[in-house]
Amino acid sequence: MLFIFTDCNCHPKGSLGLTCSNKTGQCKCKPNIEGRQCNLCRKGFWDLNSGNGCIPCSCDPNGSELDGCDLHTGQCFCKTGVAGTSCDRCDVGFYGFSALGCKRKFCVNT
């Protein structure tokens, strides 16, 4: 049974209304959101404040260091020399995008 309960404290952008379970206090969460108050994105998702539920990180599996991304910006965690929000390209001064990251370019003056 759900009811309006003053101690629910459901996150307004993460929950479906301001009601919670009278037994557990669990708010009803939007897609890909978790936590008793619906205030956390599930792993691999970000942007709680979108108002539509958290959205996928979209990290390139070859260029990303860890699962998931920054919960506020969506920036994936890139391997050495890799750049881009999705970690999908080599950074300036690097080449050879692969599952190992990118290699540093070394210039030789002759």
Query: What's the pLDDT tens digit per position in 42-53?
Result: 999 999 988 889
| DSSP SS3 for 25 | coil
User: 5-9, 47-51, 74-78: which has the minimum mean pLDDT?
Assistant: 5-9
Give the residue extent of every domain in the chain. Answer: 15-43, 57-104
β-bridge partners, 105: none
Distance in angstroms (rounded) separating the CA atoms of residues 19 and 82: 44
Give the N- to C-terminal CA distance of the chain in Å, as an integer: 78
Q: How far is CA 46 from CA 8, 15, 78, 86, in A?
A: 23, 15, 16, 13
Residue 54 is which amino acid?
C
Tokens of 92: 């300036």
Query: What's the pLDDT tens digit per position in 92-101?
Result: 999 999 998 9
CATH number belonging to domain 57-104: 2.10.25.10
Number of Cβ atoms within 10 Å of the Cβ of 76? 26
Rounded to 5°, angle at Cα 24 from 23 and 29: 125
